[in-house]
Amino acid sequence: MFKTSYSVIGLQEKVRKVILSKSAYKNIISIVESCYPKEACGVMFGKIKESTAIITEVIKIKNVLESSYRFWFDVIEWMDVILKAKKRNLEYIGLFHSHPKGSPIPSLADRHRMLECPEEIWIIVSYTPDSAINIAAWRIDDWGSSITRLLLTVA
């Protein structure tokens, strides 16, 4: 008989579910719209309760690459936004960015970045003005060996 479940010492419960508040969702979409056709990016804040991340606030940061297919940001700006939010008791959850072309699946460059920050949750929005918005949440799992799509709800 094989054991079907086991525990590993020191392994924390991982986030499996993301709840995006309606206001945070609206803010993400308006940031994504305003940056189109370039990729938008920003930082997400909220609370993690057990295996659920609750995102209540998002803040835009500048895509320094000014690109339609890539993003990155000034690390000083990113840290500044996080430190200010910490003073308001908001927990850093991760990043969001847009894909003005294509699907909300992490690109190869995204995957490389995500490997550097395995506990972060990334939300990707695929957006063009004339098609439906597609949004997905992701996290690196299994000690960096896979990318997991998380259950995402707007509430």
Q: How near is the Cβ of 16 to Zn ion at its closest, in Å? A: 22
User: Rule CB under 5 A: is residue 107 a binding residue for Zn ion?
Assistant: yes
Number of residues that bind Zn ion (CB under 5 A): 2
User: Rule CB under 5 A: is residue 110 a binding residue for Zn ion?
Assistant: yes
The whole-angstrom distance between residue 152's C-alpha and the CA centroid of its chain comes to 11
User: How long, in residues, is the chain?
Assistant: 155
- Residue carrying the six token digits 């590993």: 8
Q: Whose Cβ is closer to Zn ion: residue 16's or residue 113's?
A: 113
State the DSSP H helix or E strand holding residue 58, giving kind and residue range, or none if neither.
Answer: strand 52-61
Rule CB under 5 A: which of 73-102 touch Zn ion? none
Using the contact rule CB under 5 A, the part of the chain among 45-53, 105-113, 128-136, 146-154 near Zn ion is: 105-113
**37: Cβ contacts below 8 Å, ≥ 6 apart:** 68, 100
Distance, CA of 33 to CA of 29 (rounded, Å): 6
User: Rule CB under 5 A: is residue 19 a binding residue for Zn ion?
Assistant: no
- C-alpha to C-alpha distances, 114 to 34, 70, 79, nearest whole angstrom: 25, 14, 17
Using the contact rule CB under 5 A, the part of the chain among 16-24, 53-61, 82-90, 107-115 near Zn ion is: 107-115
Q: Whose Cβ is closer to Zn ion: residue 90's or residue 110's?
A: 110
